[in-house]
Amino acid sequence: MKRKRLIWGVVAVVALGALVGYDLLKTPGQSEQVEIVEEFELQPLIKLPAIGPFDLSVNKAVVYLWITAAVLIVFALLVRRSLRQEPPSRFRVLMELLYALAHDGIVGAVMKSGRATWFPYIAGAFFFVLTANLIGLIPLPFAHHHQLGFYTATANLYVTLALALCTFVFTHFAGLRQNRGRYFINWAPSSAPPVLKQLIWVIHSVSEVFRLVSLAVRLFANMLAGHAILAVFFAMALIFQSVLAALVLQGASVLIYMFEIFVAFIQAFIFAILSAVYIGGALDQEH
């Protein structure tokens, strides 16, 4: 019974996608030129004067970040209100599941000490990245002329680099606060011979920089690649100009869409868990 319902649900979603694709095909004229690259270009929506080197204009990424922040604030208020309800509502149970995932699955599984201190940051990063990723999957009308409207704040290297910089700064802040002056000395094992020790220290400091880069680029490239594939599949129906191709490609793009929901979740999880690993590593140095 349940399985039958699931199958019908998938069929309905595919049919809906095909219908949208067919509808898009029928609108004549502007459908020949679909530029996928333009999706990820940032043009100012509200022009503001620049202060020094900082351009304060509001563009798509800023609007998406605003929406993410607003959604998170609304959810926080709703969760606070639902805590008073007895018996617990479905919404509250779902939120408690997510909280338990952040508390036991991410922080509890990776960090040894400082769990209570660093849980707020790691859970905050997890929920922020998750919300930003998921909102990016909803087409919102901030696109220029006839674009598809897929964009996510995390498909922008500046946003992900800022998030990764937070983790980078907090890692070294946590390490310095816990281990004081020993923190940088502990980067190389004390048992190693002197020359090797210096070499290990240099390698470790290079790896610290590359942790920052890889944390930013991983999230950025994953979201960019996912949205580019989605845009290509949706645009291909327009390029081929045939109903049959639209039917097949819309079905395929619905499946990719489901996969992207999974990727959005996994990437938020990986971002949070790597932040926890880095901060935990700085707190409990082995050497």
Partner 1 sequence: MDAESAKLLAAGISMGVGSIGPALGLGMLISKALESIARQPEVAGEIRTNMFIGIGVTEAVALYAFVIALILIFVA
CA distance linking residue 254 with residue 246, whole number of Å = 12
Contact pick of 130, 274, 279, 283 for partner 1 (by CB under 8 A): 274
Closest residue by Cα to residue 217 from 263, 163, 265, 279: 163
Q: Which is nearer to partner 1, 152 or 250 (CB)?
A: 152
Task: Quote the least distance from Cβ 8 to partner 1, whole Å.
Answer: 31
Q: Per-residue x/- marks for partner 1, 19-58, CB under 8 A?
A: ------------------x---------------------
> Is there a contact between 121 and 170 (Cβ–Cβ < 8 Å)?
yes
Per rule CB under 8 A, is residue 171 in the interface with partner 1?
no
CA distance linking residue 168 with residue 161, whole number of Å = 10
> Is there a contact between 220 and 155 (Cβ–Cβ < 8 Å)?
yes
Task: Quote the least distance from Cβ 265 to partner 1, whole Å.
Answer: 11
Q: Where are the beta strands (DSSP E) in 52-173?
A: 58-59
- Tokens 């816990």 locate to 178
Q: Which two tokens stand for residue 256?
A: 């990719």
Q: Which stretch binds partner 1 (CB under 8 A): 91-99, 138-146, 243-251, 264-272?
A: 264-272
Per rule CB under 8 A, is residue 221 in the interface with partner 1?
yes
Task: Quote the least distance from Cβ 184 to partner 1, whole Å.
Answer: 24
Number of residues that bind partner 1 (CB under 8 A): 19
Q: Which two tokens stand for residue 32?
A: 């020949």
Q: How many helices (H) and strands (E) does the chain have?
A: 9, 2
Q: Report helix, strand and coil shares of the chain as percent, to nearest 5.
A: 75, 0, 25
Task: Quote the least distance from Cβ 263 to partner 1, whole Å.
Answer: 10
59 strand-pairing partners: 44
Contact pick of 129, 273, 282, 283 for partner 1 (by CB under 8 A): 273
Task: Quote the least distance from Cβ 218 to partner 1, whole Å.
Answer: 4
Q: Which stretch binds partner 1 (CB under 8 A): 16-24, 148-156, 188-196, 214-222?
A: 214-222
Per rule CB under 8 A, is residue 277 in the interface with partner 1?
yes
Q: Which amino acid is at 96?
A: E
User: Which positions from 77 through 136 interact with partner 1, judged by CB under 8 A?
Assistant: 105, 109-110
Q: Which is nearer to partner 1, 67 or 132 (CB)?
A: 132
Q: Which is nearer to partner 1, 12 or 266 (CB)?
A: 266
Could you give the angle at the alpha carbon of 55 between the alpha carbons of 52 and 59, nearest 5°? 170
Q: Which amino acid is at 252?
A: A
Task: Quote the least distance from Cβ 108 to partner 1, whole Å.
Answer: 10
Q: Which is nearer to partner 1, 21 or 271 (CB)?
A: 271
Q: Specify the 3-state DSSP secondary structure of 24.
A: helix
Closest residue by Cα to residue 167 from 284, 270, 62: 270
Q: Which residues bind partner 1 (CB under 8 A)?
A: 37, 105, 109-110, 214, 217-218, 220-222, 224-225, 266-267, 269-270, 273-274, 277
